[in-house]
Copies of this chain bind each other. A is one copy, B any other.
């Protein structure tokens, strides 16, 4: 169980064992995904029935394949796996994705089958991803073993490791259809018969295409190894984890899901903390953080400034900032003066920034712009969150100025959020997100995201 995993992510010759010409079947959708992503290597589909799939001739057997295949993606029923693995080994194919379920997560016979597969892996020194996985994704090589109809997968600089199929199915579909960011690698580790979260993290640690790692885990197979790898990588790249099965109810659900026996949660928590991994609890954050990490630099600290023409929102979000460990920092005298200059004299301008007066005097757009520039320019502030209050009836600001400000202050993250008409919010999002400004539909979300990123920065800079 040693060796480099790059054949999974940069394969030049791939066999698809169990490909089929029947649309809708996994063995068809998988080939379709590979072609849709413009994979540049050789792709050899295998099916004893022969014929062709999407213009590619089907090879009748593994033994009939050309030599030099680096990776086999196997989409046959669980029971056929031992035979297929042996044939792959005989052909010199040492990297294999086993997609099928029906192993240890299934029943006792499946557990025995899994043990048999484990033996074959050991005896032949194979590297296997899965079984019971929805596949993996590697956009730098335009390759995927996902069989869920995904189409072209947008490239990006963050990677997901997941003990769930969601990140190569519905959650990826959400990201591709409803967000603007993409992924570098996605690794669905499934039953982790061989490749586990430690291997995956080790690979991503050295992966130049990956700048941050997001993980969903229900169990940690080799805690000591995981800790060792994480300790190193978290000094260079943020590693964020949703480790679930943290409660009794969650543990019971996890047994039903992946047969994972979750450890005592306090121990897990201590381990993750030691490893420099930042832990989160909400599934939605795995997506929102993916967006933020794709678009903004890691903030230098936890000092926030936020702006709105609503005093109440400023109060509520000050409370939230404190609860999240963010500092609503005092501004430099020059910043206060700059804010005072755009406001009616009776308002004593401070952080958070009430741009109500400025908007009345200068107009809504000029108010936001001047306010944001003042706090972006302040050395006491690490990130800026404008809360855009939007209604068609009171005039929509053009939000291009936010893109300009982001370019002018490239080291300070800007997170945009909204209040008001949903249609207006969506219009702003459609302008801002393609330009690399992350936006959030609920006012709490950018604060939660910033708080997590600030924790990543803090662990990155922890003493040796």
Residues of A within 8 A of B (CB): 106-107, 148-149, 151, 162-166, 169-171, 173-174, 177-178, 216, 218, 242, 244-250, 252-254, 256-258, 281-284, 310-323, 328, 346, 348, 350, 352, 354, 389-391, 393-394, 419-423, 441-444
Contacts and interface: CB of A to CB of B under 8 A. Distances in A.
A164 B311 contact: yes
Nearest to A421: B177
Contact of A170 (B171, B250, B419): B419
A250 B318 contact: yes
Q: How often does this chain occur in the complex, in copies? A: 2
A249 B321 contact: yes
Contacts of A318: 247, 249-250, 252-253
Given A174-B421, A421-B178, A443-B284, A242 B316 contact: yes
B346 A249 contact: no
Given A170-B419, A312-B163, A313-B166, A319 B281 contact: yes
A327 to B, nearest CB: 8
A249 B390 contact: no
A319 B422 contact: no
Contacts of A323: 247, 281
A313 B444 contact: no
A41 to B, nearest CB: 25
Given A164-B312, A174-B420, A244-B312, A320 B257 contact: no
Most central of A165, A178, A444 by chain B CB within 10 Å = A178
Contacts of A315: 218, 244-245, 250, 253-254, 257
A391 B170 CA distance: 7
Nearest to A162: B312
A389 B170 contact: yes
A284 to B, nearest CB: 5
A444 B312 contact: no
Contact of A244 (B165, B248, B316): B316
B391 A319 contact: no
26 contacts: A149-B394, A165-B310, A165-B312, A170-B310, A170-B390, A174-B419, A174-B421, A177-B421, A178-B421, A216-B312, A247-B318, A247-B319, A248-B322, A253-B315, A253-B318, A253-B328, A253-B352, A256-B314, A256-B350, A256-B354, A257-B311, A258-B311, A283-B316, A283-B443, A441-B441, A442-B442
